[in-house]
Chain A
Amino acid sequence: MARVTTVVCVTVIATESLSKRFPRVTALDRLSVDIGPGVTGLVGANGAGKSTLIKILLGLSPATEGRAEVLGLDVAAPSSGRAIRERVGYMPEHDCLPPDVSATEFVVHMARMSGLPPAAARERTADTLRHVGLYEERYRPIGGYSTGMKQRVKLAQALVHDPELVFLDEPTNGLDPVGRDDMLGLIRRIHTDFGISVLVTSHLLGELERTCDHVVVIDGGKLLRSSSTTDFTRTTTTLAIEVTDSETHPDGTRAVREALHARGLDTRNEGAGLPGAGHILLLTAEGEETYDLVRDVVADLGLGLVRMEQRRHHISEVFTDDGHSSDEQRKEAVGHGG
């Protein structure tokens, strides 16, 4: 934990109008983000530019324009790519493990490739494999491992040289729900217990909500949003309202909706199919005055206010431009993510 306090730079990754253009596609389009220490999620659909960004940050692919800094080092400066890669770990999205060697041999080799002397490489390998949850099986050839175990080996090789920052590209790919939860817990621990900052990419938004301190959403190489996960769920609050019907207003919900609409406040219905659907109005609260407005409108109509509650925002609502938000749609958005 001592190392957390020794991190001097507040920004771990910084990009400034970073662009990457290939002859046919623009992978990154003037992307400017600042990422601090902690666990940061990089969200986007496949092809949104996540892997391209990681390549540039590792100093392996030059940016077309703009600049990027990792751990205070400019990625474009000569020989800083090597300095960055010495202090950064990388877990690729795809399979990258030879099947005919054991996890121990493989991770020791990768530790030495990161510059660790032989004895330190062996010691760190044993430690790291234990931390990611590989015990006796680490002496068997990797070919016989399950997907979950392989993901752990991939994670171990990214951590074995005790980097200050790791890039994890889709670490939960191909895992079952239990394996997914284990992996997410491990990612959380990489920061809380190991003191290593994490940039984790995913197209699954739900899991990043739980794991990350900060989420960056990119789409088509452009920045959609960058904020902490608490910001995501707090700055705009969804308010759910349920009212009674009265004799003058047989459909109270509709009367409230029309009255609110007349005062310039848009509402939407809770998704169909749920109990009470059609009777619950959702609206976006922009501040204290929204609550007052709702109270006044309901009172003026002479209806009873059954419920007025805050709904917690989900990150996926970033993607639902038309403002529909229900649990069903959240799941859909989670599926396509961009």
Chain B
Amino acid sequence: MAVEHPLPAPAGDQTRIHDIGYRGYDGPRLGRAYARRSLFAQSLRGSYGLGRSVKSKVLPMVLFAVMCVPAAIMVAVTVFTKAHELPVTYTRYAIIMQAVISLYVAAQAPQSVSRDLRFKTVPLYFSRPIETADYVRAKFASLASAIFILTATPLLVMYVGALLAKLGFAHQTKEFAEGLVSVALLSLLFAGIGLVIAAVTPRRGFGIAAVIAVMIISYGAVSTLQAIANVQNHSSAIPWIGLFSPVTLIDGVQSAFLGATARNPGAINPSAGQGVVYVLVVLGLIAGSYGLLMRRYKKVGL
């Protein structure tokens, strides 16, 4: 029989530092899907500067505030003037704020992918149990979610405000849902375009400039052409011209199918046939940008 020693545990003993040497890890290894989720979470937080320096929080937070403040003001106006309708429809809000959204994509798409290329962190990811597709999906989903948070939050503010102002519940809910579908499509489209452009260059500055060029300049050019077409009485061409910029694409889809009014000069809604073309182009662009990203990262590899 071993003699039982009472364990003396003086308080001082607990503060001693022991060199316990190397300890192995026998716990669970959660594998590929968990790694992909971790990358998604890290990238999504990074899109708002969380877990990064104060400097990198400034721009996304400012843009987020810029997106939400007008919605809050509109709600306040609606409540105080006892209006029967919100001054701006849910579907129209993102189109009005398109410059802010484009700026956000221009800033955060390169942040998401160019950094990994520039600092050559990509090989570290691919030396872990994920595949090219996991990296691309995590990055795509995280940026799309970040844009969705940016665009859907003001809609939520408006919806809550509309309910507080006792506007018609069924009507508001339907329009809010249509708005959400629209910004979800917009988020996927913008994320795809932004990431494809940003993934080409390890230089963040080039990425930002290129995304701005594609998003904002194409919108300006398309709007100008539409205005000219309107003045010259070629209004039937207006919906077709709208196919050539991301913002007008979303505008076309929602004015064809989501009860919105087109924001183009002349307010010409696309026909049902044109609407189908719009939807196909949007889905094609989303799928195409996913395909291009996959091709790009197959090459980057290690």
Measured CA separation A66–B22 after assembly (Å): 37
Q: Which residues of the other chain, A, contact B119 by a CB distance below 8 angstroms?
A: 95-99
Interface members, chain B 237-296 (any A CB < 8 Å): none
Check B127 for interface membership: any CB of A closer than 8 A. yes
Cβ-neighbour of A114 out of B52, B115, B123, B129 (below 8 A)? B129
How many residues of chain A get a CB closer than 8 Å to chain B's CBs?
Answer: 42
Question: Are the C-beta atoms of B24 and A162 separated by less than 8 Å?
Answer: yes
Question: Are the C-beta atoms of B29 and A116 separated by less than 8 Å?
Answer: yes
Interface members, chain B 124-155 (any A CB < 8 Å): 124-131
Measured CA separation A122–B299 after assembly (Å): 32
Check A179 for interface membership: any CB of B closer than 8 A. no
Check A328 for interface membership: any CB of B closer than 8 A. no
Question: Are the C-beta atoms of B120 and A195 separated by less than 8 Å?
Answer: no
Measured CA separation A10–B24 after assembly (Å): 20
Interface members, chain B 17-41 (any A CB < 8 Å): 21-25, 27-32, 34-35, 38-39
With A61-B302, A85-B129, A109-B38 known as contacts, the answer to whether A116 contacts B124 (CB < 8 A) is: no
**Closest CB of chain B to A180's CB: distance in Å?**
22
Which residue of B is nearest A95, CB measured?
B120
Cβ-neighbour of B127 out of A3, A60, A94, A162 (below 8 A)? A60
How many residues of chain B get a CB closer than 8 Å to chain A's CBs?
Answer: 36
Question: Are the C-beta atoms of A96 and B124 separated by less than 8 Å?
Answer: yes
Question: Are the C-beta atoms of B25 and A116 separated by less than 8 Å?
Answer: yes
Question: Are the C-beta atoms of B42 and A109 separated by less than 8 Å?
Answer: yes
Check B51 for interface membership: any CB of A closer than 8 A. yes
Which residue of A is nearest B120, CB measured?
A96
Measured CA separation A141–B131 after assembly (Å): 28
**Closest CB of chain A to B130's CB: distance in Å?**
7
Cβ-neighbour of B32 out of A2, A82, A110 (below 8 A)? A82
Question: Are the C-beta atoms of A127 and B23 separated by less than 8 Å?
Answer: yes
Q: Mark A254-298, 1 if CB is under 8 A from B, else 0.
A: 000000000000000000000000000000000000000000000
**Closest CB of chain B to A70's CB: distance in Å?**
12
Q: Which residues of the other chain, B, contact A131 by a CB distance below 8 angstroms?
A: 22
With A60-B127, A82-B131, A85-B127 known as contacts, the answer to whether A3 contacts B24 (CB < 8 A) is: yes
Cβ-neighbour of A96 out of B22, B121, B128, B301 (below 8 A)? B121
Q: Mark A88-126, 1 if CB is under 8 A from B, else 0.
A: 111010111111110001000110111111001000100
Question: Are the C-beta atoms of B38 and A90 separated by less than 8 Å?
Answer: no
Question: Are the C-beta atoms of A110 and B120 separated by less than 8 Å?
Answer: no
Check B53 for interface membership: any CB of A closer than 8 A. yes
Could you say which of A90, A96, A157 has the most chain B C-beta atoms within 10 Å of its C-beta? Answer: A96
Interface members, chain A 162-203 (any B CB < 8 Å): 162, 193-195
Question: Are the C-beta atoms of A110 and B128 separated by less than 8 Å?
Answer: yes
Question: Are the C-beta atoms of A98 and B24 separated by less than 8 Å?
Answer: no
Q: Which residues of the other chain, B, contact A83 by a CB distance below 8 angstroms?
A: 129
Measured CA separation A141–B51 after assembly (Å): 12
Question: Are the C-beta atoms of B120 and A92 separated by less than 8 Å?
Answer: yes
Interface members, chain B 34-81 (any A CB < 8 Å): 34-35, 38-39, 42, 51-53, 56
B interface residues, Cβ below 8 angstroms from A:
21-25, 27-32, 34-35, 38-39, 42, 51-53, 56, 115-116, 119-121, 123-131, 301-302
A interface residues, Cβ below 8 angstroms from B:
2-3, 55, 58, 60-61, 82-83, 85-86, 88-90, 92, 94-101, 105, 109-110, 112-117, 120, 124, 127, 131, 141, 157, 161-162, 193-195
Supplied contacts A86-B128, A96-B121, A116-B25, 11 more A-B pairs, CB within 8 Å: A55-B301, A60-B126, A60-B301, A60-B302, A82-B31, A85-B127, A86-B129, A92-B124, A92-B127, A100-B53, A193-B21
9 contacts between A and B (CB under 8 A): A55-B302, A58-B302, A94-B120, A101-B52, A112-B34, A115-B35, A116-B25, A124-B25, A127-B22
